[in-house]
Amino acid sequence: MLLYLRLLRESLAFALNALRNNKLRTFLSLLGVTVGIFSIIAVLAAVDSMDRQIKEQLSAVDKNTMYLKSFSFGPSDIPRWKRQQFPDVEYNEYQYLKDAVTMADQVAFQIFTKSEIIKYNEKSASDINVVPVSYEFTDIQKLDIPTGRFYNETESVSGTPVVVIGYEVAKALFGDDNPLEKKVRMYGQKFTVIGVLAKQGSGAFGENNDTAVFIPVNFLRRKFGDHNDFMTPIIIIKPKAGYTGEEVKAEVTYKLRNYRGIKAGDIDNFIIDILSGFTDMIDEIVGNLNIGGWIIGFFSLLVGGFGIANIMFVSVKERTNLIGIQKALGAKSKFILLQFLFEAVILSFIGGLVGMFLVWLIAIGITKMLDFEFVLSAFNIALGSGLSIAIGLISGILPAISAAKLDPVEAIRSGM
């Protein structure tokens, strides 16, 4: 054991000496390993961070939750021209499905609409995301409302001008004052603030409840009607416990086809997306991004491996006389082999450490500048370290073997 520790110490000394004596050559050779490890770990860390944030946000929603609408969130087998002919879902269909679908736990109606300016006295906040939804929404997608409450069924059905505001909206309009029961103005009308959302931060898809306000969907319907270019309705359905998304989707499809009078053999003129399918799509995208990172990193590591091998061959040539003396004094070939292998691993490991250090610096910078938590996990650090060691072993094996096979007499003679 002491022999190997001594071997490791001497190899470290030789490696550091190579770094000091041949700075430019060593820098250029290690650059490949540094770039390779940086490329792989940076991509994996970024993808892992994005995946973790998406999964955390979606964890508040049942994966079997489905969205009924006239458009598709992702790729579809239905031609685009055909989908453009689909009618929008309607409020009366939401009411019908709410009573007719036996497997549904909650059914909510939501409208996607344009952003607005919200005012309070002389203060205003612009580019506010208005989210008109029915009262069931908060039972489907949990909203953290530490101050106040969400609107109830009566307020939702009647379209009462009440509003639940995001954290940043509350700060912009009221500062440290209590916003509850204050009157804010939107759409040329006053709304009573009944709740304030907890601070959330930006979502993985750019959404941000901190700069959003929630209002009863029937207020917007009563003011503008049901058919406007700036209003896109959807119906959100949460299945009861014990039922799968596909089972509920089948029942919703059957009931809505009957309600719309779609004939047997005709395609559905609506689209139902299940959240679990969306998460599967995210997993596929994450997998493809990881593969891309490995491909980019592989070529960089290949260059880095050749660089390490070049350093080691040069090191063997420069120390041929010393190797001959070591062998003449009784050093075994295994000792020489391990000495150069350790040196290659240490050089490669240094390059990997620099690469991971750069990723760590970028992670800190992105986390501070953007509202996004970029995490360099322990697994990624271990992976980067393992790859560095592997590259060192692979790159150093041939130079180490050539050093171990040197004839001591010839080796000493070559240095004279």
Is pLDDT larger for residue 228 or for residue 77?
Answer: 228
Per-residue confidence band for 12, with pLDDT thresholds at 50, 70 and 90: low
* 285 CB-near residues (< 8 Å, 6+ apart): none
- Give the mean model confidence (pLDDT) for residues 117-127: 91
Q: What is the reported pTM?
A: 0.66
Distance CA 237, CA 98 (A): 9
Residue corresponding to tokens 């010393």? 322
Alpha-carbon distance values, 226 to 220, 221, 274, 370 (Å): 9, 6, 25, 38
The 10s digit of each residue's pLDDT in 176-188 is 899 999 999 999 8
In this predicted structure, the answer to whether residue 204 has a pLDDT above a threshold of 50 is: no
Joined together, the tokens standing for residue 94 give 């939401």
Dump pLDDT digits (tens) for 126-177. 999 999 999 999 988 888 899 999 999 999 999 999 999 999 999 999 988 9
Question: Tokens 């053999």 identify what position?
Answer: 265
How many C-beta atoms lie closer than 10 Å to residue 18's C-beta?
21
pLDDT of residue 229: 84
Lookup result for tokens 């030789």 = 14
- What would the DSSP string read from start to end of 67-132? EEESS-SS--SS-HHHHTTSPPP-HHHHHHHHHH-TTEEEEEEEEEE--EEEEETTEEEEEEEEEE
Q: How many CA atoms lie within 13 A of 383 on its CB side?
A: 17
For 228, the enclosing helix (H) or strand (E) is none
The span from the CA of 391 to the CA of 351, in Å, is 10
The residue ranking higher by pLDDT, 373 or 217, is 217
Distance of CA 110 to the CA centre of its chain: 26
- Is the pLDDT score of 85 beyond 80? yes
- Rounded to an integer, the average pLDDT of 42-69 is 75
Whole-number Å distance between alpha carbons of 194 and 178: 11
Give the pLDDT band (50/70/90) at residue 62: low
pLDDT confidence of 326, banded at 50, 70, 90? low
Residue 20 has pLDDT above 50, yes or no: yes
**d(Cα 326, Cα 320) in Å, to the nearest integer?**
10
246-281, pLDDT tens digit by residue? 899 999 999 999 999 988 888 888 888 887 666 666
Parallel/antiparallel/unpaired status of strands 231-239 and 66-69: antiparallel
The answer to whether 343 and 15 are in contact (CB under 8 A) is yes
- Round the CA-based radius of gyration of the chain to a whole number and report it: 32
Q: Alpha-carbon distance 396 to 341, whole Å?
A: 5
Strand intervals (E) in 140-262: 147-148, 162-165, 183-186, 189-196, 212-216, 231-239
User: Stretch 274-296: mean pLDDT, rounded?
Assistant: 73
Whether residue 394 is predicted with pLDDT greater than 90 in this model: the reply is no
pLDDT value of residue 35: 81
**Torsion angle in degrees (nearest 10) through CA of 49, 55, 58, 59:** -130
Cβ count near 100 (within 10 Å): 17
Reference 315, options 105, 25, 48, 6; nearest CA is 25
Tell me what the pLDDT averaged over the chain comes to.
82
Q: Say what the pLDDT of residue 47 is.
A: 78
Cβ-based neighbour number of residue 293 at 10 Å: 19
Q: Beta-carbon neighbour count of residue 38 at 10 Å?
A: 22
Query: What local confidence, expressed as pLDDT, does residue 196 receive?
Result: 95
Q: Which amino acid is at 391?
A: I
The Cα–Cα gap between 374 and 358 comes to 13
Alpha-carbon separation of residue 160 from 156, 262, 271 (angstroms) = 7, 36, 31
pLDDT in tens, 346-371: 878 888 888 888 888 888 887 777 76
Q: What Å distances lie between residue 262 and 59, 81, 280, CA to CA? A: 35, 19, 30
Range of lowest pLDDT (176-180, 211-215, 329-333, 397-401): 329-333
pLDDT of amino acid 103? 92
